[in-house]
Amino acid sequence: MTRRSWIGWQFTGPFLAVFGLVFLAPIAYAAYLSVFRTRLVGGTSFVGFENYTKVFGDPQFWEALTRVSLFLLVQVPIMLGLALLVALAIDSGRLYGAGFFRVAIFLPYAVPAVVAALMWGFLYGTRFGLVGNINELFGITLPDPLSPDLILASIGNIVTWEFVGYNMLILYSGLRVVDTALYEAAAIDGAGQFRIIRAIKLPALRGPLVVATVFSIIGSFQLFNEPQILDTLAPNSITTYFTPNIYAYQLSFAGQQVNYSATVALVMGLATMVVAYLFQGRALKGAA
């Protein structure tokens, strides 16, 4: 090994050591745990892939997975659609105070999920929240956003509020690297704003949109914070298997089923990566 080679390892070594400890080792340990089972009587025994077959036949797991898939299919398009509209509006140069819009709409990104969920949770309150105020003011009864029927939509609103600005900035940054000579050429050819958006801006946003969607796929499948926190305000609406992550958490803590919990976490992590990877592959295929 040359001297330069050794120096390179000295720079990357500390990062890799911690990376190994908090990325690779937990995955390996979870994989190890997932092939055992602990019983009150009889202790721990090797069971091969039994935990995995159990996951695939577990109705609670499927219900959780179906719920986050529905969330992905409905919430993510709404959020990214709004982010796209705002990014195009700010980039158009036709807004008064565009800089203020950009910063203010991004700001919720700096708000912790705990605070975001609690704020919206209070606003949703039919007794003393804003929904309650509106009911009182107009003498009507709006449906309870924290009821079991509406809780998923209410969570969708919270997540949209938190991340629409973040996604807007990703898309806006993508628009800023478009060569403005293209707009000038299009304007000379008589193209209007909407024509320019369709022919130049949207194609340029393909990459950033894929990045934003991949992040959103991960966020949806790994949903945990918002429902877990709303549980303190709406204990009857959030089940112990509301999302796959809540299920894995509950199995570890309330259920003491460590081996099965590790299996659920692994399966879900893998499913997230596979879906994100497949999406990215498909979305970028026609791009070249």
Give the footprint of other proteins on residues 41-60 (CB under 8 A): none
From 48, 77, 112, 148, residue interacting with other proteins (rule: CB under 8 A): 112
Residue 99 binds other proteins, judged by CB under 8 A:
yes
| Helix/strand/coil percentages in the chain, nearest 5 | 75, 5, 25
From 37, 65, 67, 120, residue interacting with other proteins (rule: CB under 8 A): 120
Kindly give the residue spans of alpha helices, DSSP state H, lying in 148-192: 151-176, 180-188
Residue whose CB is less far from other proteins, 127 or 285: 127
Token readout for 114 is 């705990």
Residue 101 binds other proteins, judged by CB under 8 A:
yes
Residue 262 binds other proteins, judged by CB under 8 A:
yes
Residue 253 binds other proteins, judged by CB under 8 A:
yes
User: Distance of alpha carbon 272 from its chain centroid, rounded?
Assistant: 11
Residue 78 binds other proteins, judged by CB under 8 A:
no
Strands (E), 121-276: none
Amino acid symbol at 126: T
Q: Residues 191 to 210: which contact other proteins by CB under 8 A?
A: 207-208, 210
Q: What angle do CA 225, 221, 234 make, to 5 degrees?
A: 35
Q: Residues 5 to 44: which contact other proteins by CB under 8 A?
A: 5-12, 14-16, 18-19, 21-23, 25-27, 29-30, 33
From 277, 278, 281, 282, residue interacting with other proteins (rule: CB under 8 A): 277
Cα separations in angstroms, 143 against 37, 121, 139, 172: 45, 14, 13, 36
From 123, 150, 186, 191, residue interacting with other proteins (rule: CB under 8 A): 123
